[in-house]
Structure 1
Amino acid sequence: MSTRNHLFTQGAVASVALALVTAGGAPPAAAAPSVTAAFRPVASPIASTVALQALPAAKTVKYAKTTANLNLRRNAGTKYPSLGVMKKGTVVARTGRTSGAWWQVRYGSKTGWASSDYLRSTAKPAAAKPQPGAAKAIRWFAGSQALYAKPTFASKRLQAFTKGIKATQLRTSGSWSYVQAPGSRGWVPTRDLSKKATRYTGSTILPSSSHRWTRYASHVRTGGSTSTRSLGVVPAGEMMPVLSGRNGWSRVKTSKGTGWIKNTLLTNLATKAPPHLQPVTARMIKKVKARYGRTYSSVGTLRNGSIGHRLGVGSDFMMRGWSASSGIRNGNNLAAYLVRNRASLDIDYIIWRDRIWLRQDGQWGPYSKGGWGRHLNARGWNATTMHYDHVHVENLVD
C-alpha cells in the first residue's frame, strides 16, 4: 500500500510528459466572491518521458517470478522512482538487459528494473484461454481511481470513481479493463477492480499488505536478529514499506536505512494515536519553507479527516492573499516547484485551485468536478474544500 493507496489505488506508475496546468474557474461565488483574476496554465519547465521498451523476439524471452513484494524501478537502483509494486508470485518477462544485480523486466505494459535478489527463473506462463461470448462481468472499484480514454496512463484522464462504485467490465486489453461506470466509460487498470462488492469507508484506515507502522520506538537492525548491529532507532508511528520477511522479522525501508525490525514491534494498521509527521513529509516541508516560506501563512499537517493527514504524509500550505493575482501566482509557482521536484520530494499528488495532479499519470485535471474528494461532500464545496486557499500535498512512502 503506497501512501496514495489510502486515497488512490495501488498501481504501476507510468512516466509521462508532465505539464503543470493549474487552470480552473473562479471559486464558488458564495465562498470566495473576490476571485476575479484569470487562472491560466503555467508552462511546465520539465518534460520527462520513459519510452516503453519492446520485448525481444519471443524465442529469447525468459521469465522470472517475484519472491516478495518488489518495486519495479525506473532504472537500476533503489534511488530511482518506483513504477509500481509487483506482488509476491508475479511472473515478469526479462528483456535480457542486466546491470549488476538488477534485471530489466516487463511488468504488464511497463518496462523497468528489479533486483534479481527477489526474482527466480520460471517457465513461461500459460496464455489465458479466450472466452468468446462470455457474459459481461460485474466489478467494483477497489479504491479512488480515474478512468482513462485509452489503456495507458499517458492518455486523457476521465472521471474518477471512489471505492465501492459498481461497474461493468466490458472487455480487457493486457492489464487494463474497459468498463461502464455510472455515466462514463473508460479504461482502468484491472488490478484496481474488485470481484467482490466493496464499500466506501471515507477516512477509515484499512490494513495494509505493503506497509508497516512501528508500534513503539524500534531498532532497525542489519539482520533478523537482536545480535546484529543497529542502524538507529525509529520512533513509534513511522510508516515504512515492507520488502520481505522471515523468522518473525520484516525487512523494511526506514528513515534510518533499509534493515530488519521484529514483527512484534510492527503493525499493518496505522497507529490509533496521532502519528508523528513522517520523515519524507518533514523533509519536503523544510525544502519548501526555505524557498517559498514567505508566500504562505502556515502549514497544516496532522489532523483527523483525510487519511493522508492522519498518517502524517499530508500537508496544507495556506497561501497568503490567495484570492489576489499575487497569491494565485505564488501558489502556481509552489505547485510547479513540487511537480519539477516530484522524484526527490517523493510527491504523490497535489491539489490546488480545484485541480489535481497525480504522480501515476503526470497530469493535471478537474478535482471537484472530476469525481475526487467524495469525503468532502458533507462539508460542501467552498474555497477551502476546493483548495483555492491552500496547496494540498501528499507524499509517497516508498
Structure 2
Amino acid sequence: MRVRTIDHGGLMRPIVISTALAAGLAGSALTVPAAVAASHTVAASRTVASRTVASHAVVAPAPSFKVNAKSGLKVRSGPGSKYKESGSLRFGTVVAGTGKTSGSWTQIRMPKGGVAWAPSMYLTMVKPGPPPKPKPKPTGVAAFKVTRAGVNLRTAPNTQAKVINVLRAGGLLASTGQVAKGWTQVSVSAGGVGWVAAQYLAKTTNPVYRVVGSPGVNVRAGAGVKFKQIAFVKTAILLPGTGTVQSGWAQLNLSNGLTGFASRRYLSQTVQDRGDAAAPAPAATPDPASTPDPADCPEDAPNPNAPAEEPPAQPATEVAPGS
C-alpha cells in the first residue's frame, strides 16, 4: 500500500493507492473514503425502499365515463385536437377510463379495444352502482321434514310474501338446493317453488325423486292404476319419497301433506346432499314382472282436474327466522 500527496491549491491531501489489483484489471484503483461509501449505501437503500413501497401501493380502480355530447363525440390518438381522429362515440355510451389525463383531455378505453383521448368536458363520470345482491347459494337437493304445525309455505324468502300453503307437522318437502338468509327453497308438487323458514325444517334421509315423464306423472292413492288419481305432477318437479316402493311404484309426499304412489317408470331418484345424515339407500327399481298399465301413462291419460294445493282461508303465521 502506497500513500501519495497531491497539492490542491496549497493543501496537501493524502490519496491511498491500492496495489492489489482485481483479476484481469490493470492500473491502480482509488479507495473510497468510508464516509462517502456509507452515504452512497444509505441512498441506495432508500431508493430500493421507495421502489418496494411503490410496488405494494394499492392502485385505485379507474373511473367510468358517459358521453354527454348530444351529437356524439370524436376521439383522438393523443391529448389534443392536433392529433389524428381515431374514432367516435355515441351519446350515452359508457366507457372506462385509464386513469390518465392531460390538461383538458382524458384517456379512455374504446368499447372494441384500444385507448383514445377525449375532451373531458364531454365526459361525465359514472358513479359506481350498488354491489349486486348475492344469489341464493346452492346447497344440494335433499328431503326435509316439517318440525311443527302451522308453518307457512311462501312465494319468496320473507314473511311478507304470499302464502302458498300451510304445512303440517311431519310433512316431507324436497329442497331445490337454494337457500337465502334463513330460508330454504322447496319444490311445490302442484308446480313452481316455495320458501320455508329453515328453522322449521329438519334434514332427513328420505329419497328425492325428479319427475321425468312428459308432460308429467299421475299420483294415485295406491300402488297401481286401479287406484284413484289424487294429483298430477309436471315434468322436472322434485318430490320427496317416504322410502316405500311397491311393485315398481314409489310412495311420494305432496306439498299439501297428502301421500300417493307414482310409477317409478316416470321418476328418477336424485343425488342428495345429506350433510351428516346417513348415506342414501340405493335407488329402487321397478319390479321386472310388473309393467305399468298404459292407462297410467301421463301422455295418454293426464288429468288436469286433479286436486289442487290451495292455501287455507286463514293461514297460520310462522315466527320470523332469527326471532
| Structure possessing the higher radius of gyration over alpha carbons | 2
With normalisation by structure 2, the TM-score equals 0.26
- Is the helix fraction higher in 1 or 2? 1
- Is the strand fraction higher in 1 or 2? 2
Larger RCO (CA under 8 A, 6+ residues apart)? 1
